[in-house]
Amino acid sequence: MAEHSAEFFAKCFGRVPKWIVAAPGRVNLIGEHTDYNDGFVLPMAIERYMVVAADRNANRHVTLHSITTGETARFHLRPSLEPGEPIWSNYVRGVIAGFQRHGERVGGFDAVIDSTLPYGGGLASSAALEVATATLLEVITNHTLDPIEKALLCQQAEHDFAGVPCGIMDQFTSTLAQENHAVLLDCRTRKATPVQMKDPGVTVLILNTRIRHKLADGEYAKRRAQCELAARMLKRSALRDATLAELLKARKGLDPFVFRRARHVINENERTLQAAQAISTGRWQTMGRLMFASHESLRDDYQVSCPELDILVAIAKRIPAAEGMIGCRMTGAGFGGCAVCLVRTEAVRHITRKFEDAYEQETGNTVEIFASRPAAGARVLNWAPPARKRQGA
Ligand code: GLA
C-alpha cells in the first residue's frame, strides 16, 4: 500500500512523498454501544488500513486525492475551518481544526489517501482516516500528542465535522492497539488492558454484508440520547454505574424502549468483562456464548441489527462447535456493516464456504469474508523511495 500510494502521489504531484502514515481499522469483539455510556469495550485493530502519503507544499492549501473514490478535495487553511465536500474530507478537516485549536500552525500540504477498509462498512474507516491524519500532522508540525489526547482530538473531529456523537472506541483502537492483542478499554478512566490474542488455533473472521441502511447515523444519536435519559432516571451519571436490579426496580417509570436500551448496556458491560477473562484464559466456548448473547441483545433490546446481520449470526449458530464454530455477532454501530466471528483455525475454509453458500441462498447477495490478526495502532511508515526513482532515472 505504501508503494502504491507513493506512486500515485508522484503521479499527482510530480515528486516523491516525504511521509507515509498508516492507521488501522478495528473490529469490536464485544462491548457494543457501551463506550458512550462510560462502559467497557473489547476491540482489536485489524490488518486493513488507511494509508496517507504526503508532503508539505509552498502555499496555504491542502490538496487531497482519494485513490479509492477518485475524488479530490482542495481547501484553504483558514483559522476556522468549516465542513465541506467531499464528505470524507471532513475527517481530515476536523483533525486539522483540532490541531489548530491546540495552537499548532498547520501549513499547506498535498496528500493521497489509500484504503483497504470498506468505507461505511462498520470497521471504523472514518476513525482510521482521522487517526492517520493526526499521525501525519504530528510529523508535519513536529508535535507528538499524548496518545489519549490524540484519540480524543479525532473523536472531536467526528462530532464536529461529521455530526456523529460517537464514543471513543474507534479512535482509541486505531491509535493505541497492540499487535497480537485485543484491548479491554475502560471508557471512563481510559485505562487500557491488553488481552493477548495469539492462539494460532483461533481465527478472527470478519464478514462484510456491504450493506449500510440509511437510518444508521440518526438512530445512533437516538440510542445515545435514550441511554442518557435512562441514566438520569436512575440518578446515575452514566449507565456504567447502574445495576440490573436497579433498572428492574425502576422499570414501571421508564419508557419500554428506554428500559430495553439500558438493559442492553448493563448486560453488555458485564459480558465484556467476562469476555476479557474468557480470552485470557483460553475459554473459547464461554467467549462464543457471550458473543451470541451480545448479538441477541443488540437485535432485541438495542434494536441496531438488521436482517442481513441476523442471517449471518443464524448461519453461525447452526454450525456446531464440533465443526469449529466459536461465536458470532454483529460488530460496530449496526444497521448493516460487518459481523465478527471466531472460529477454530483448521475450520476456516469449511466455515467460510458455509457462510458464503447459505448467505447467498438466503439473501441473493454475496458476503465478503476475510481473516485478520490483531494489528498494531497507527504509525509513520519507515518508507524510502526506491533508489532508482530517487536518482530520477
Ligand atoms: C461506532 C462508534 C463507536 C461505538 C460503536 C458502537 O463505531 O464510533 O464509538 O459507539 O459505534 O459500539
Residue 391 has pLDDT above 70, yes or no: no
| Cα(285) to centroid(ligand 1), Å | 26
| Cα(18) to centroid(ligand 1), Å | 33
pLDDT for 121 equals 86
pLDDT in tens, 148-180: 999 999 999 999 999 999 999 999 999 999 999
pLDDT in tens, 319-374: 999 999 999 999 999 999 999 999 999 999 999 999 999 999 999 999 999 999 99
Contact 160, 94 (CB under 8 A): yes
Using a 6 Å cutoff on CB, does residue 169 contact ligand 1? Answer: yes
pTM of the model: 0.96
What distance in Å separates the CA atoms of residue 212 and residue 201, rounded to the nearest whole number? 32
Run of H or E including 266: helix 256-280
Run of H or E including 302: none
List C-alpha distances in Å: 113 to 20, 69, 323: 10, 10, 41
Q: Which residues of 149-188 are buried (b: 16+ CB within 10 A; e: fewer)?
A: ebbbbbbbbbebbbebebbbbbbbbbbbbbeebbbbbebb
Using a 6 Å cutoff on CB, does residue 42 contact ligand 1? Answer: no
User: Atom 8 in ligand 1: which residue has the minimum CA distance?
Assistant: 166
Active-site residues, by number, are 170
| Cα(56) to centroid(ligand 1), Å | 33
Using a 6 Å cutoff on CB, does residue 50 contact ligand 1? Answer: no
Using a 6 Å cutoff on CB, does residue 38 contact ligand 1? Answer: no
Concatenated DSSP letters for 170-187?
Answer: HHHHHHH--TTEEEEEET
All residues at 6 or more sequence positions from 3 whose CB lies less than 8 Å from its CB, including other chains: none
What distance in Å separates the CA atoms of residue 61 and residue 109, rounded to the nearest whole number? 7
pLDDT for 383 equals 78
Using a 6 Å cutoff on CB, does residue 170 contact ligand 1? Answer: yes
| Cα(168) to centroid(ligand 1), Å | 8
- Comparing CA positions, the residue from 158, 152, 162, 199 lying closest to residue 180 is 199
pLDDT in tens, 70-117: 999 999 999 889 999 999 999 999 999 999 999 999 999 999 999 999
pLDDT for 393 equals 38
Task: Centre a 10 Å sphere on the Cβ of residue 28 and count the other Cβ atoms it contains.
Answer: 29
User: Atom 9 in ligand 1: which residue has the minimum CA distance?
Assistant: 167
Using a 6 Å cutoff on CB, does residue 265 contact ligand 1? Answer: no
